[in-house]
Amino acid sequence: MRRADKVIISCAVTGAIATPSMSPYLPLTPRQIAESAIGAAEAGAAVLHLHARDPEDGRPLQDPELFRQFLPEIRDRCDAILNITTGGGLGMSLDERLAPANWARPELASMNMGSFNFNIAGAGRKIDTFLHDWEQPYLARTTGNIMSNTFDQIERAMTEVGAHGTKFEFECYDVGHLYNLAHFADRRLIEPPFFVQAIFGILGGIGAEPENLMHMKATADRLFGDDYYLSVLAAGRHQFPFVTMGAILGGHCRVGLEDNLYLGKGQLAESNAAMVTRIRTILTELSLDIASADEARAMLGTKGAGNVGF
């Protein structure tokens, strides 16, 4: 693993996991997404991971027109690296998932590195009343859905999106996903440095146990040596302890309202900026320096904000 002098903070501004009934602070409209993203960047996030949602009811959507309504404003008002999802939402086709990144040609795009059971139905069982009709069925059907990322799908996504000079945030939900990444690296479909996002605590993926983080890091060290940067995220209550542990180990971190809605027990986060501020404070107290957006660009080797398609 490449040990950087400074920690890259990524912020997942909104995503396909949380629904509007879970938190009134989840950004849904293009205006809300833009303001929340810019606030996170001002608080210290060097990378902004971005999904889009239906502005009427908040369901995850991959319509490039929605991305068009917030990406240029975020680019113009902050210097963060904009990271577009290719995961999209559960049940979407690969064409739908790739459409925003193929249009936007961003510096960075997420890339799920394997198929797995992605079960978030438990979150729905904690909600007494849903605001929108789509939410309960969307969450409940994850007991029978597979997050599909076959080798053919991954290769197509890498080839199409990578043709624009876009680099990837490789999302690895289990140890086998690291070996999948090594397979594509060995075939030279991707080039180092690899930005590996190790994800813990999603039911169906690797659990949020400290020993698992050490195992993921040790495996990635064997597979990639100094050719990768490790970033860590964990779902829900595990987020802040896990990302702190990852940073102490010499890695980077991701927080944000896609993966966790709380600052502490029973305390909903009122903004992405609040979450970035919290982790930045923790890391600073540990004498860890925070990377600027341009420092993150230099580490990850992205093409620069002036070379995107929006």
Count CB-CB contacts under 10 A for residue 99: 19
What percentage of the chain has pLDDT greater than the value 70? 100
* Residue closest to 33 by CA, chosen among 77, 59, 70, 82: 70
Element (DSSP H or E) covering residue 212:
helix 210-224
* Residue closest to 83 by CA, chosen among 97, 95, 71, 73: 71
Tokens of 266: 């029973």
pLDDT digits (tens, 9 = 90+) for 131-147: 999 999 999 999 999 99
pLDDT digits (tens, 9 = 90+) for 242-272: 999 999 999 999 999 999 999 999 999 999 9
Is 243 within 8 Å of 233 (Cβ atoms)?
yes
Domains of the chain: 6-307 (3.20.20.70)
Is pLDDT at 124 greater than 90 in this prediction?
Answer: no
- Distance, CA of 17 to CA of 44 (rounded, Å): 24
Is this prediction's pTM over 0.95?
yes
What would the mean pLDDT of 97-111 be, rounded to a whole number?
Answer: 98
Tokens of 288: 């860890």
Q: Please, where are the H alpha helices in 49-150? A: 64-68, 71-77, 94-104, 121-124, 135-140
What would the mean pLDDT of 12-41 be, rounded to a whole number?
Answer: 97
What would the mean pLDDT of 45-74 be, rounded to a whole number?
Answer: 98
Is pLDDT at 90 greater than 90 in this prediction?
Answer: no
Least confident of 34-38, 123-127, 289-293, 297-301: 123-127
Tokens of 105: 């040609």
* Residue closest to 149 by CA, chosen among 167, 166, 172: 172
* Residue closest to 264 by CA, chosen among 253, 277, 254, 278: 278
| Residue 173, C-beta contacts closer than 8 angstroms, at least 6 positions apart | 112, 113, 114, 116, 199, 202, 204, 205, 206
- Distance, CA of 109 to CA of 162 (rounded, Å): 9
DSSP, res 5: S
- Distance, CA of 113 to CA of 248 (rounded, Å): 25
